[in-house]
Chains A and B, each alone.
Chain A
Amino acid sequence: MQKQAIFQSRLLPYALVAPQLAIVLIFFYWPALQAVIQSFLLQDAFGLSTTFVWFENYIDLFRDPSYFEAIVRTFFFSFAIAVSSLSFALLLAVMADKPLRGSMLYRTLLIWPYAVAPPVVGVLWIFMLHPSLGVLSRYLRGLGVDWNPLLDGDQAAALIILAAAWKQISYNFLFFLAGLQAIPKSVFEAAAIDGARPMRRFWTVTFPLLSPTIFFLLVVNIVYAFFDTFGIIDTMTRGGPGTSTVTLVYKVYSDGLLGGNLGSSAAQSVILMVMVIVLTGIQFRFVERKVTY
């Protein structure tokens, strides 16, 4: 079977891919190259002179305890966001998979939050949980919780994790529901006849059969938590209080654009780029091969 398309002109195929290539080159490769070059340069405090310093920016970074803290914090956030959003989405999907009246309605409603942009998610949750304006804050204080995420770093971190996980639930829910519906109903019926109670049925049949979906979503969620939570952090806490919600991505922004240390910021973004490449590599490797039970 011949898969090759046949073009009359030799130039036509190049012309056809040119727009896409131009976009990738201008908006991805060019800035990426700039970042790599920038990461080897050091500017003076007034931005008047630039020196080529080889790997000094990188060495400084790894000597900086605050960078190490940001790495640990980012991994913790990612883990917390991925686990809480995956488990909650799975619970909702299992519930929504039951043939109940109005299921189309609440399935649609459950998918909606995905359409909300991350900064808007941040604003929504701030409205609810702001220490002085928040609707829910009052109830929390009524329950005796000393709620003030603007001063308490742990509470701020919890707030970020909550908002970021909430936004991702819809996406995960969609995949879980599709995954559940791809399993023939008769498999669950066979398990019921085979004497497996609902909980056991979930852990011995549903969960293993969803494992490819779970793995795929785990990678997607980690990537999301790493890179796409910027908007939420920026609208909710701006990395504060102190540096208690500064993740790797936020640090690139705050060191470079707020702190003016472009060399270090560039080095950080190069490191992040390597991380994305590794994560994407893992995803492709396993998703292509279709992780099977």
Chain B
Amino acid sequence: MGSLHLPCVPTNPHSPFPTRYSPVQSMANVTLRNVRKTYPGGFEAIKGVDVDVGDGQFCVLVGPSGCGKSTLLRMVAGLETVTGGEIDIGGRIVNQVEPADRDIAMVFQNYALYPHMSVFNNMAYGLRNRGMKEAEVKTRVDEAARVLELTPMLERKPRQLSGGQRQRVAMGRAIVRQPKVFLFDEPLSNLDAKLRIAMRVEIRKLQRRLNTTSIYVTHDQLEAMTLADVLVVMNGGQVEQVGNPLAIYEKPATTFVASFIGAPPMNLMSTRADEIKSQLGGAGEAGILGIRPEDFVITDQTPAGGIALPLTVEAIERVGAETFVYGTRAQDEQRVAATPGELPPGEVIVRIPGSVAPPIGQKIRVAAVRAKLHLFSGDGRTRLGA
């Protein structure tokens, strides 16, 4: 995909330009207030979620599979009933509103294209259902096809398209409608790695250009970090943390967020281990200490207020620009609360730049400065200190 030019993009809703090409329709905040979902069997999929997505913002819901992120998105779309709380789109409570009347468009993981319709008709379907004049339908679809470089394929059926092209048709079907809100349900997970990165950039550019409020669900933390204005980290039907992606990366609120956001995951260790306790002093009572692999340096010195750990090198992973050193701490100790991406007890990952690494079996010392230490309560649910 090349450049994304829309001919006339008035960002002001009172623009004197004809509104035909105007992607900006109206203000559309999406606000979730204590939203809950309990299935008839008694299973609580969503346990009270509060999220506020401002007009034109790109919100990403991220979490491991089964955390309820897709369910939450489908509730916003109107495909799942809401059993508690309120969903507010553009100042209107939509709990009881049909999906068709919520002024939203959704891009599905499997694209959900109509297999019997041409690309043109796939995009035109939603417009025709709303009784739009055929000339207007054609203008809008042609414009979307031009933006998404689908013009030569308008007469083809979905089965004659590649995965990436289908994905773009699904995007086209959403943008022709010029809805208040775009909803994306893992739209890139069926694409290969290279295309996924390319489409990720395109989606972000397109969203910026159209300035349409968007909610995007993914389990890929890299996608989440790169796309989001507002990142919502979910786990077990609850929101763990909401905020700017970098702020979350720098100050994860719980050990779950700490290990989920960032790759490789943050090293978590119990502060009860003697070596750590002695170095942390009073703070040593906290419970769990987290240090990101990239915040370690291999050095013999101990920074003031920081921490130093003796390690035995167990494995080396060279990926070119950087190298991951897997080491075990001198003394083993109890496991830290189970979290995704958790390392075996006593194992520490250190990320060093370049490709020069100590040999396997060598004993090294790694250190991290005080500012890079993350302290959590013993259950991992609370962040301590700044």
Contacts and interface: CB of A to CB of B under 8 A. Distances in A.
Interface string B314-347: 0000000000000000000000000000000000
B116 A194 contact: no
Contact of B108 (A186, A205, A293): A186
Nearest to A188: B112
B234 to A, nearest CB: 21
A192 interface: yes
B125 A187 contact: no
Interface residues of A, number: 20
Contacts of A209: 115-116
Contacts of A208: 116
Contacts of B109: 186
A184 B100 contact: no
A192 B115 contact: no
A192 B100 contact: yes
A204 interface: yes
B15 interface: no
Given A192-B79, A194-B129, A187 B112 contact: yes
Given A196-B100, A196-B125, A186 B116 contact: no
Given A195-B130, A204-B125, A293-B115, A190 B106 contact: yes
Contact of B99 (A186, A193, A200): A193
Nearest to A207: B116
Contacts of A184: 110, 112
A195 B108 contact: no
A152 interface: no
Interface in B29-80: 77-79
Interface string B92-111: 00000011100011101110
B100 A193 contact: yes
Contacts of A205: 114
A186 B110 contact: yes
A197 B100 CA distance: 8
A194 B129 CA distance: 7
Give the residue among A184, A193, A195, A211 with the most B Cβ atoms within 10 A.
A193
A189 interface: yes
A193 B129 CA distance: 10
A192 B116 CA distance: 17
Nearest to B106: A193
B166 interface: no
A208 B157 CA distance: 14
Given A186-B110, A200-B129, A204-B125, A193 B115 contact: no
Interface of B: 77-79, 98-100, 104-106, 108-110, 112-116, 125-126, 129-130, 173, 177
12 contacts: A186-B109, A189-B79, A189-B99, A189-B112, A191-B114, A192-B78, A192-B79, A194-B177, A195-B130, A197-B100, A208-B116, A293-B115
Given A186-B109, A187-B113, A189-B108, 8 more contacts: A186-B108, A189-B99, A190-B108, A192-B99, A194-B100, A197-B100, A204-B125, A292-B116
